[in-house]
Structure 1
Amino acid sequence: MKVEAWLFGITTVFLVLVTPAYWLITDASDHGGDWTGTSALVMTTLLVGMVTLYLGLHAKRMDERPEDRLDGEIADGAGELGFFPPYSWWPFWCACTLGIIVLALAVTAWWMLVLGAALGVLALSGWIFEYYRGEHAH
């Protein structure tokens, strides 16, 4: 995690230096500056800074990983890596119900909004409780 935190930290420093420079360079033109690019750079700087902070805090709390040690071997990283969920249809159904809700808001069809919300509750419940029943029950 330390390497990742350093990479994002360097990117944050770069963006902190580039953002005001970009604002000053574009503000010198006759058009009054490029507010779209400047605001995008500010938001990117804040986002990368947030990731840097997150990775830096977790790097301090975590035990040292084999990837972070200079004398680490490939065999040191062997073993259980974690739980990876199998193939699931529930995210697809959640996306479909979200599409129904957005369409209902776009065409102001309140009955469709209620239908999409009801189907969304069913789809989200299925996704949440997927591992409590059926083939992949724990």
Structure 2
Amino acid sequence: MRANAVLFWVLCAFFVVETVLYAAWGWWSRANVEWTGTVAMALCAVLSALVAFYLMHAARQLPRLPQDHREAEPDADDGEVGQFSPHSWWPVLLGASGFLLFFGLATEIWISFIGAAVGVVCLVGWVFEYYRGHFAR
């Protein structure tokens, strides 16, 4: 965790330097600062500083993890990764329904209703995948 915090502090320093250079370049080339990009990069610096501060604080509160030790073996922290649905088509169909939903927002609203309906069916199918069919328990 401490290594991640250091990376975010480096990222924060990079954004601070880039913000200053961007504002100075705008002032030098056009005699005014381009505020949208300057504020956006400054907010990126603030966001990375917030994440780095949280990670530093959390690293002090938690015990050291096996992956934090330099001499640790790769399999020192083999744990449960999660349960994944084998051969499941529901996530693909749910992504397609999301595409229909947002495509309908961009073109015609009635396509969004079809995408939302298909999305509800796909979400219910994905949630109840292990209660029926080949992988029922």
TM-score when normalising by structure 2: 0.73
Deviates more, 1:84-93 or 1:101-110: 84-93
Q: Give identity over the alignment, percent.
A: 32
| 1:15-49: CA deviation from partner (whole Å, max 9, x where unpaired) | 22331332122222226344454244234324423
Letter in 2 for 1:17: V
- RMSD (CA atoms): 3.0
Q: How many residues align?
A: 136
Q: Does 1:114 align with 2:126?
A: no
Structure 1 spans left out of the alignment, 5+ residues: none
Letter in 2 for 1:41: M
Letter in 1 for 2:82: F
Letter in 2 for 1:14: F
3-state SS of paired residue (1:104): helix
Following superposition of structure 1 onto structure 2, how do residues 69-88 of structure 1 map, counting pairs within 5 Å?
Answer: 69-70=69-70, 72-74=71-73, 77-83=76-82, 85-87=84-86, 88=88
3-state SS of paired residue (1:24): helix
**How big is the shift at 1:123?**
1.6
Tell me what 2:100 maps to.
100
Letter in 2 for 1:77: A
Contact 1:66 1:76 in 2 (8 A): no
| 1:25-78: CA deviation from partner (whole Å, max 9, x where unpaired) | 2222226344454244234324423432443343234321123235x3317715
Structure 1 pair 85–33 and aligned structure 2 pair: CA distance change class (3 A): same
TM-score when normalising by structure 1: 0.72
Structure 1 pair 86–54 and aligned structure 2 pair: CA distance change class (3 A): farther
Structure 2 spans left out of the alignment, 5+ residues: none
Contact 2:66 2:77 in 1 (8 A): no
Output the CA distance in 1 between the equivalents of 2:134 and 2:59: 37
